[in-house]
Amino acid sequence: MSTVLESPTTQNPTASRSGQRLQQRMAAARLSFTWLGVRKTLTAEQKAQAAETFGAQDSFLSAGKKLLDTSHPAFREVTAVRGQIQSYFRHVSLPYPEPGIRLIRQDQLSTFSDQLCQYRNQLTESVRELDYRYGELQSAARRRLGTLYNSADYPDSLLGLFSVDWDFPSVEPPDYLRQISPELYEQEQARVVARFEEAVQLAEEAFTAELTKLVSHLAERISGVSDGKPKIFRDTAVTNLHEFFERFRTLSVRSDTDLERLVDQAQQLLQGIEPQTLRHNQSSRQQLAGQLAAVQSSLDGLMVDRPRRNLIRPTRHKETTN
């Protein structure tokens, strides 16, 4: 079964051009993590003992214990790698209306897999360091948990208990369905078209919300004062916008001309603008702040006025790891 999305142009004439382009150019991708749980519910006896302390009924009490100190630097490093992986996945993909799945450009699949392999190696190294400090973490847990400590709660090693995997699931109806039931196959095709139409809407909303947040933040930082002095802002207030412009050009399906116009406008305003210039040139700050305020006002109107598509998401019962 192919994971690359097939062209709907001839099969689904009712699909919008934006939905068609999205379905033609993108592939579905999914991340999954294996991750050691660090919390454990107390036994019935322990819960009854805790309830007795407060004069409560144990059936109305929920109690658990934390097995390891997740604030330990070695554990935080492992968690940080997971955060980097998730952030990268969101950065290079578009939302799709199915839990755990996002859309990647087909011509970026190899780059995506290569980058995740690097992150996987980084995660492996971080877990190896955490395992080296595992005895230290267990000793700390023994001291902090007191009689709640149970050595049986702890595996012999942490190696292999943290990992990341990815795959490219097919979101198209299977070919065999065409032979078994052409009518059901057509229904499934219509469902896929509806999902990609919704994916277009989700992408528009995500881009609009992100641009609004970035423009609002920069405008606030360069227009406001604190203790009579211009507010201090980080370089990322500017560089994050430049990164947004690049990602928008890479991932946008050109579905919203109003949004494209506002992205162009914001990009032109920041053309050649460096953070240092804004810090030391009050006139440039004030001028840019006023221009960004106009863009922000238009974005606010766009978020309010955008029509909502009447799309129904089918109910699904399955467990996914995002």
Q: How many CA atoms lie less than 13 Å away from 75 in the CB half-sphere?
A: 16
Higher pLDDT, 107 or 226: 107
Q: At which residue do the structure tokens 């919300």 appear? A: 209
Asked if 309 and 202 count as a contact pair (C-beta separation under 8 A), the reply is no
pLDDT, tens digit, for every residue of 259-308?
999 999 999 999 988 888 888 888 888 899 899 999 999 998 887 766 54
The CA distance from 274 to 233, in Å, is 12
Res 42 pLDDT > 60:
yes
How many residues appear in the chain? Answer: 322
* Percentage of the chain modeled with pLDDT above 90: 67
Residue 171, phi-psi category: left (phi > 0), alpha (psi -120 to 50), beta (remainder) = alpha
Give residue 227's pLDDT band: very low, low, confident or very high (50, 70, 90). Answer: low
Question: How does residue 319 score in pLDDT terms, banded at 50, 70 and 90?
Answer: very low
Strands (E), the chain: 26-34, 39-41, 64-66, 93-95, 101-105, 163-167, 225-226, 229-230
* Residue 188 in tokens: 């499934």
How many Cα atoms occupy the beta-carbon half-sphere of 114 within 13 Å? 5
Q: What is the mean pLDDT of residues 126-149?
A: 96
Please determine, for residue 226, whether its predicted confidence score (pLDDT) is greater than 70: no
Higher pLDDT, 226 or 92: 92
> Any idea where the domains of the chain sit in the sequence?
17-167, 200-305
Q: What is the mean pLDDT of the chain?
A: 87
CA distances from 145 to 51, 65, 135, 234 (A): 17, 8, 15, 42
Q: What is the dihedral of CA 120, 25, 242, 235, to 10 degrees?
A: -20
Region 176-185: mean pLDDT is 92
- What number is the average pLDDT over the span 157-168? 97
Strands 26-34 and 101-105: antiparallel
Tokens representing residue 57 in the block: 């009924």
DSSP code, position 313: P
pLDDT given for residue 316 in this prediction: 37
* Residue of 321, 215, 244, 231 whose CA lies nearest to 279: 231
Query: Is 30 strand, coil or helix?
Result: strand
